[in-house]
Amino acid sequence: MRKWSEIFTQWYEKYMFLIIPGSLFLGFLLSSSLLPFVSWSPYLFGYVTLVMALGCGLGHLKWVMKRPAPIVLVLILSHLVAPILAYGLGWALFGAYSDYTVGLVLFTIIPFGVSSVLWVGMSYGNVALMLALVVLDSALSPFVVPMLIEVFFGTQVAFDSVSLMKDLSVIVVLPTVIGVTLYEISKGKIKKFTSPIAVPLSKVGFTLVVMLNAAAIAPHLYQLKNDMMIVIPAVIIIVLVGYILGYYGVNLLRNSGRELKATLSYAAGMRNISLGLVLAMSYFSPRASVPVVLGIMVQQPIATLFHAFLNRRLPVEEVETIDIHGNQEQIKVG
């Protein structure tokens, strides 16, 4: 079982940049058949979050909290600077209160993407830091997302902030707390014990979330096709801006080596788009979901390009070993 699951996981991660856009296409193509199952999305997403949290314990969080500067920096870059730039771009192209502008801003304020942990690992960044950032940012999302929507759009965009906070608590925070608690109770062993089944299923769950939300938005896309020539470049710019902020923003820190550049670049550049889709379809108009849907199509390919860029600009040179919560983790740094 373990060998099969490892092969599947490696295959999925290798071809994720094709699988995710492919699942989007299937969602659009099979929209009428999948629409009755769209309500499953939050539960599938909650499971994906739980599996992610099983790999993080209080030791990871404590280790990261002792080095708060990178955390504070990437949160400011990702959830303050990036939203301001997204709002400015949306205002210039579509108008201050356009649904597309809401979608661009929403893309920048949703939590860091779980898949960023995979890319950080492949880029020899600090996996412990990235995992802790994902968990921490997810836990903050019930407060961060509604607050920033209110700050940018006020009463001009109608949405139920209280229900949004409750849903984020149930589908993000609760699974995260359960996962971290199970990690602690098992002293870190639960991840290894459950991963042969839980991890492949989480990959399938993630794909299904994307597919179901694509099915939900498909009926509306045809009406919006004339806008795509402007919306697509805008989304690409916003995704690239995240990487640029992370890559060059690290220079504000004293120790800004390759490891930290890789970690914060992927943190700032990748978002939890499956959560963004669930929120956009539940609380905003279908038009606001379009930038988030397009974000899925460009996020993984851009991650691949950035991986190549990082390896060319900052080659891997040496290996360090860090002990966290009794677990040895090897990383390479430049």
| Structural domain spans, the chain | 2-333
Q: pLDDT tens, 68-86?
A: 889 999 999 999 999 999 9
DSSP assignment of 277-320 equals HHHHHHHS-HHHHHHHHHHHHHHHHHHHHHHHHHHHHS---EEE
- Higher pLDDT among residues 230 and 49, named by residue: 230
Q: Which fold has domain 2-333?
A: Na+/H+ antiporter like fold (1.20.1530)
* pLDDT band with cut points at 50, 70 and 90 for residue 100: very high
Q: Does residue 231 contact residue 100 with C-beta atoms inside 8 Å?
A: yes
pLDDT at 245 over 90: yes
- Higher pLDDT among residues 235 and 203, named by residue: 235
Residue 306 CB partners (closer than 8 Å, separation 6+): 243, 265, 266, 269
pLDDT at 104 over 90: yes
Q: Does residue 268 contact residue 82 with C-beta atoms inside 8 Å?
A: yes
Handedness of CA 185, 189, 194, 198 (dihedral sign): positive
Closest CA to 303 of 273, 323, 277: 273
pLDDT at 95 over 50: yes
pLDDT at 246 over 70: yes
What is each CA distance from 217 to 30, 288, 317, in whole angstroms? 12, 10, 46
pLDDT at 265 over 90: yes
pTM: 0.74
pLDDT at 20 over 90: no
230: number of Cβ within 10 Å: 11
What is each CA distance from 189 to 34, 49, 242, 261, 288, in whole angstroms? 37, 18, 34, 30, 41
